[in-house]
Structure 1
Amino acid sequence: MKNKTALTFLVFALVTLALGILFGLLASLQYIFPTFIKSVIPFSKMRPFHVTTVISWIILAATGSIYFYMVKEEKLSLFSFKLPKAHLLLFLATGVTIYFSFMLGYTEGREYLSFSPILTIPVLLGWILFGLNYFKTLRKSVKNWPVYYWMWGTGIVFMVYHLCEAHFWLIPSFKEHFVKDIAVQWKSYGSFVGSWNMLVYGISIYIMCKIKGDEKLARGKKAFFFYFLGLTNLMFGWAHHTYIIPMQPWIRYVAYGISMTEWIILAHIIYSWKQSLSIQKQEEYPIAYKFLVVADLWVFLNLILALVFSIPAINFFTHGTHITVAHSMGTTIGINTSILFASLFFIASKLKPDFTFKKIKQYVTLYNVSLLLFWVVLLMAGIKKSHWMYFTKNVLFSEMQESLFYVYIAFFSFGLLLVISILRIITPLFFVFIKNIYQNRVMIKDEEKQAVL
């Protein structure tokens, strides 16, 4: 496989990120001009395009990073070098099919998985192939696993389970029982996010270990406490999202406490690592270091927001508003994407040691500032909508939307700056990976010629 398949995952991850943020930008423009390209892609179609593509970015970037680290950095001989290629082809073929199905109006799935349920089958098969290769490789090659191996393995296993669980609504006994149906739906989606968090957070710990040159971070009691806390959150932390469902109050409070504690521990791990890192180590991988610091900042900001709106009395007013979207953006972009950027720049520095930070330094600042302003505007829009829903009488929805016109202008403007910063950040990565894939192909052909001679 060399690096070729892993880097191909990363190239397509960058493509999906670019597409995902462009879909999001177009959707934000439809808030200002509701008829904008409505005849081509109405908002009802734009949203699934955006959500599915952004999730694909996280999955592809995490998967490609893990394959790269196993083969290139850890020098592990994979159980099979053909399975990653099959994994990649399954994901790409399914992704193209999902796009065509969305264009044709087939969105009979739900929420994050709005595509046809039958298309989940090849996605599941891809995860099963990934898991088979992962566990077969590590079982024969590695003893006394560091925490990031446990986190990656756990993320893969639970991804398979929760993708299945997310489709329990197809079973009549679930579909016909409203409370059971809603409970399982949101449980599965919450745990689905927890599964990819396992992959991403495991990557963050891996990078921190490699930058510092010290494996203690991945083998200490704190790391494994964080792992088991994350595992508990994956299995039970979803409950604080289901306040609208009848349940015992203690379940909500326990789930709320678990999810908040996980973020506190992650923030503490990154902060402690940052404080213990020498200037020399920071300068050795400057971009990866910078994005881990950015992720730590967004853990802190999102933690404050989550602590506030997870209180049942406040959640009643914020549920279904842009405040929830702000939380989602802070997590998906501020935390997950920043960690994955750190991973991709770490990989790029391995492939191209002279990769320079100066060319994109200003865009990293723009990324962080525009995301912060974008996040604040979403909170403002959410507060306004909540006020209209619960404290305003005889005001039509259209009137409320019109009153938010300038807020939506700011929403689009900061979103545009965020898109520009991300595109400028990922462009050099794209070319580094493409060039290395080409060099690998040439190298393989040369080796084949030598073998024949």
Structure 2
Amino acid sequence: MFRSQHLSYKYALVAYLFFGLQGVVASGGAIELVFPDIALPISYSNGRAFHLNISMFWPLIGMIGAIYFFFCQEAGREIYSFRLIDLNFWLLTGTVGLILGSLLLGFNEGREYLEAIWPLKLAIAASVLLLGYNLVRTYLLSGVPRGRATLISILAGSFTLIIFYVPNILSYSHPTVDEITKFLVVHLWEEMSLELIGTGVLSALLIKVTGAERRVVETAIYLEITFAALAGILATGHHYYWIGVPAIWLWIGGIFSAMQVLPVLLLLYTAVKSAKFSKFSSLSYRDKITTALVGCSMFYHISGAGFLGLFMAYPPLNRFVHGTYITSAHSHFALFGVFGFLVLAICFYMLFTEVLLTPKMYRWCWIALLALNSGLLTMGLGLLLAGGLQAYCWRVIGLSIGDTNQLIRPYLFIRMFGGLIYSGGSILLTFIVVKSIWSKLRVLFHKNGKIAKLTGDDLNNTQKLLHCLVQKEKEAELLLIRIKYLSDRLRR
């Protein structure tokens, strides 16, 4: 195992901690929507800014950890600089902590998803630049083929993280220019940068866990890169129409949004076709949970992000549903449903590489997964019903905003109920992770530490082998007793 992979564990742990915190804060916001007069210690506007930013940054932290973990594996060598891995972690985690704390205190620039003050944005940009530099130096020194698709996909996604974020360090006086620049992060980080990184990382994970054929998977990766570059940028046009650009952008966005369903279907088909699913029953506890989380990500990618996004982007419908709770349902399915589950899967795989997941914790993991999915689906259903009624009453028959809000309030109760279930699942899964590695916490942050001499897979395989030997011993014992009985009979 590479030392770089050990250094990436702390990224995964912090991602889980922020993930658990997000569920708690989001539940408070859902309760305040239904009971606006309730006294909460955090104002709704500050809590909303906190929720939007943490939902964007915890997957980013986990994904950067996954980049370091799988990039050295695919490159066949250590990451160029261990010090830069650690520096990147402390800079990114410290900056995200300052951003979230400052937002709770009301230091807010007023740009949705980009509310942080500019010095903190500059620190985020510096962190992403450190990542890019470390990856390029590693790539140039590696001995594997330069065209290895997993490396190309991760590199392309990492560099677009920089390209799309840097213009947002500044604010712009013209509102249309400011909105277009904002969507470089809000939309293109998700639909292009994280898509490319996630494709490379997920492909490396599938090759490792399911035994998928590299040649077939890499063909799908190159097609995914092509689709992400074309559709990711131009599909954003269904937002541009609403910020003061020509109407043609609404149709450009609608047409290219339809293309965004194709790459994930292609990757799913490739994984199912080439993976050896007969091995699933023999997988370790860690790999079974990881595969289940990846399956959840694929489901929401196709349904919530893909087909629901395509429905919303169709121009004649977009004029009615844009900015309603239907948009909120889509954003929850697309951001957490797709990338949230994917980052949870990868971070779970990383953290339990050298720590054995016990059978008891394994069973609780399934309960947490059930709570996360049932909560997210219930929340999404409530938002879809509220958004459909909102679009009809407000934008079709012309009811006032006040009357419309009274009519949709019962559906916000469904959203709140789903949010509480989801929050319970997020807290439970975070507790399982923290409790399982608590005894190894000190060595987790030590640059020369080793959590265990054997990996979790080795321990699981050893456990299975010992169980098999015990069974064979019992069978041999019964056979010896039978032989002795027959010998006595013959002697008599």
> What SS does the corresponding residue of 1:162 show, helix, strand or coil?
helix
Equivalent residue, structure 2, for 1:322 = 325
Conserved 8 A contact 2:80-2:137: yes
Matched, 1:183 2:185: no
C-alpha distance in structure 2 between counterparts of 1:109 and 1:442, whole Å: 39
Amino acid across the alignment from 1:82: R
What is the number of residues matched between the two proteins? 438
C-alpha distance in structure 2 between counterparts of 1:110 and 1:313, whole Å: 28
TM-score, length-normalised on structure 2?
A: 0.82
Compared CA separation, residues 308 and 65, structure 1 to 2 (3 A): same
Matched, 1:132 2:133: yes
User: Could you report, residue by residue, the CA deviation over 1:284-340 in whole angstroms, capped at 9, with x for unpaired residues?
Assistant: 121121122222221221222112110111111111111111110001121111212
Equivalent residue, structure 2, for 1:144 = 146
Instruction: Give the superposed CA RMSD.
Output: 2.5
Matched, 1:207 2:205: yes
Compared CA separation, residues 394 and 112, structure 1 to 2 (3 A): closer
Amino acid across the alignment from 2:426: I
C-alpha distance in structure 1 between counterparts of 2:170 and 2:235, whole Å: 19
C-alpha distance in structure 2 between counterparts of 1:81 and 1:411, whole Å: 44
Amino acid across the alignment from 1:429: V
Matched, 1:20 2:18: no
C-alpha displacement of 1:437: 4.7
C-alpha distance in structure 2 between counterparts of 1:246 and 1:102, whole Å: 29
> What SS does the corresponding residue of 1:219 show, helix, strand or coil?
helix
2:310 is matched with which residue: 290, 295, 307? Answer: 307
Equivalent residue, structure 1, for 2:409 = 405
Equivalent residue, structure 2, for 1:192 = 189
Compared CA separation, residues 183 and 36, structure 1 to 2 (3 A): same
C-alpha distance in structure 2 between counterparts of 1:372 and 1:239, whole Å: 28
Compared CA separation, residues 248 and 271, structure 1 to 2 (3 A): same
Conserved 8 A contact 2:261-2:307: no
Equivalent residue, structure 1, for 2:385 = 380
Matched, 1:345 2:343: no
Equivalent residue, structure 2, for 1:97 = 98
Question: Matched residues, percent identical?
Answer: 18
Compared CA separation, residues 25 and 354, structure 1 to 2 (3 A): closer
Alignment of 1:212-231 (within 5 A): 212-213=210-211, 214-220=213-219, 222-231=220-229
| Runs of 5+ unmatched residues, structure 1 | 447-453
C-alpha displacement of 1:393: 4.5
Equivalent residue, structure 2, for 1:121 = 122
Amino acid across the alignment from 2:313: S
Amino acid across the alignment from 2:385: M
Amino acid across the alignment from 2:101: F
Matched, 1:67 2:68: yes
C-alpha displacement of 1:196: 2.3
C-alpha distance in structure 2 between counterparts of 1:151 and 1:235, whole Å: 16
Compared CA separation, residues 439 and 72, structure 1 to 2 (3 A): farther
C-alpha displacement of 1:350: 2.4
Compared CA separation, residues 35 and 145, structure 1 to 2 (3 A): farther
User: Could you report, residue by residue, the CA deviation over 1:155-178 in whole angstroms, capped at 9, with x for unpaired residues?
Assistant: 2211112112234534xxxx1x34
C-alpha distance in structure 2 between counterparts of 1:111 and 1:85, whole Å: 30
C-alpha distance in structure 2 between counterparts of 1:122 and 1:167, whole Å: 10
Amino acid across the alignment from 1:376: L
Compared CA separation, residues 433 and 161, structure 1 to 2 (3 A): farther
TM-score, length-normalised on structure 1?
A: 0.88
2:300 is matched with which residue: 298, 301, 308? Answer: 298
C-alpha distance in structure 2 between counterparts of 1:292 and 1:420, whole Å: 20
C-alpha displacement of 1:180: 3.3
C-alpha displacement of 1:441: 6.2
Amino acid across the alignment from 2:433: L
Amino acid across the alignment from 2:266: H
